[in-house]
Amino acid sequence: MRIDVITIFPEYLEPMRHALLGKAIEQGRLEVGVHDLRNWAEDKHRSVDDSPAGGGPGMVMMPTVWGPALDDVAAKKVPANLESAEAHLNRPRHDELEGIEPKAYEAKEDSELPLLIVPTPAGAPFTQADAQAWSTEEHIVFACGRYEGIDQRVFEDAKKRYRVREVSIGDYVLIGGEVAVLVMSEAIVRLIPGVLGNRRSHEEDSFSDGLLEGPCYTKPRVWRGLEIPEVLLSGNHKLIEAFRKSNSVARTKKVRPDLITRALKEGTISPADLEQS
Ligand code: ADE
């Protein structure tokens, strides 16, 4: 996969060089280009914004700068320029050592056009299902807006070269799209086959089955007088699975009742599961 990010704050994307994303870059499974929008500015002040048509507060990002930037990035005329920050390759994760086959998710769409993701609080909510579908994309471009936003004509025009998605990471307003890009990139890249060694580790994630994951424990058996639930030490896999499921349902019921309604409708859980939790 190749990810390109266009932003006026390239340094904000520095975390993409680290940890799992950095490792995916080293493995050759991911290429990342981070590009300063001002490189496409036309005046000596490298301006990228102007006052809003119709008046009002704030500034709007100019189509005359965004248009050429998106053209060049769609055509891969600018290099993938982000290197991994660290050497990870000789440090396999313990789950990789188990040698479990990675699994690819199913693509939602079949198109030659790259995917243009525009983070905005006015977009459709980003979900785990999007992360799964987009983990199969070949080329994803993120356009980071600042100020009041980007001139809407940029996206109308971009439809000739891209599949355009306006996406929100939650019901709150950030200063710009950069942090949302980090969030979405991490959610997407960890699902690329081979990036996270153990396929079970994301099949059991919260949201993958429409429910939240329950609590987890590790050694020591007793810590500050608090014990690991007995059943987890029983070695009885059926009982352990039932315990985890009922915890997962109980947590979801408490903090996300909306997900329970959906899980019942989709048959992920039964009314009996709900009663036992
Ligand atoms: N930019 C500003 N707020 C945002 C949000 N909630 N999601 C995505 N991009 C944003």
φ/ψ (deg, to 5) at 222: -125, 130
Q: Is residue 42 annotated as part of the catalytic site, yes or no? A: no
Q: Residue 11: pLDDT above 70?
A: yes
Q: Is residue 190 annotated as part of the catalytic site, yes or no? A: yes
244: left (phi over 0), alpha (psi -120 to 50) or beta: alpha
Of 190, 119, 138, 113, nearest to 2 by C-alpha is 138
Question: pLDDT for 235-246, tens place per residue?
Answer: 999 999 999 999
In this structure, which residue's CA is closest to atom 10 in ligand 1? 120
Q: Residue 69: pLDDT above 80?
A: yes
Q: For a substitution probing ligand 1, which of 12, 61, 120 has the most ligand atoms within 8 Å of its CB?
A: 120
Q: Residue 94: pLDDT above 80?
A: no
Q: Cα(92) to centroid of ligand 1, in Å?
A: 34
Question: pLDDT for 166-193, tens place per residue?
Answer: 999 999 999 999 999 999 999 999 999 8
Q: Cα(164) to centroid of ligand 1, in Å?
A: 16
Query: Which residues have any ligand 1 atom within 6 Å of their CB?
Result: 119-121, 168-170, 172-174, 177, 180
What pLDDT does 102 receive?
67
Let me know: does 80 contact 1? Beta carbons within 8 Å: no
Q: Cα(242) to centroid of ligand 1, in Å?
A: 38
* Confidence grade of residue 198 (pLDDT, cut at 50, 70, 90): low
Within the chain, residue ranges assigned H as helices are: 19-26, 63-74, 128-134, 153-158, 178-189, 199-203, 237-255, 257-266, 271-276
- Enumerate the domain spans of the chain: 2-199, 206-276
* Confidence grade of residue 95 (pLDDT, cut at 50, 70, 90): low
Amino acid symbol at 97: L
Q: Do domains 2-199 and 206-276 have the same CATH topology?
A: no
169 belongs to an annotated ligand binding site: yes
In this structure, which residue's CA is closest to atom 2 in ligand 1? 174
Q: What is the CA radius of gyration of the chain?
A: 22
Q: Is residue 205 annotated as part of the catalytic site, yes or no? A: yes
Element containing residue 152 per DSSP (H, E): none
Q: Per the residue annotation, which of 15, 102, 121, 193 is the catalytic one?
A: 121
Average pLDDT over residues 78-96: 84
2-199 CATH fold? Alpha/beta knot (3.40.1280)
Pick the atom of ligand 1 nearest to 173's CA.
3
Q: Does domain 206-276 have CATH number 1.10.1270.20?
A: yes
Q: Cα(124) to centroid of ligand 1, in Å?
A: 10
Question: pLDDT for 119-145, tens place per residue?
Answer: 999 999 999 999 999 999 999 999 999
Of 175, 115, 166, 186, nearest to 146 by C-alpha is 175
Q: Which residue has the higher pLDDT, 185 or 203?
A: 185
Q: Residue 247: pLDDT above 70?
A: yes
By mean pLDDT, which of 100-104, 159-163, 254-258 is the weakest?
Answer: 100-104
What pLDDT does 24 receive?
94
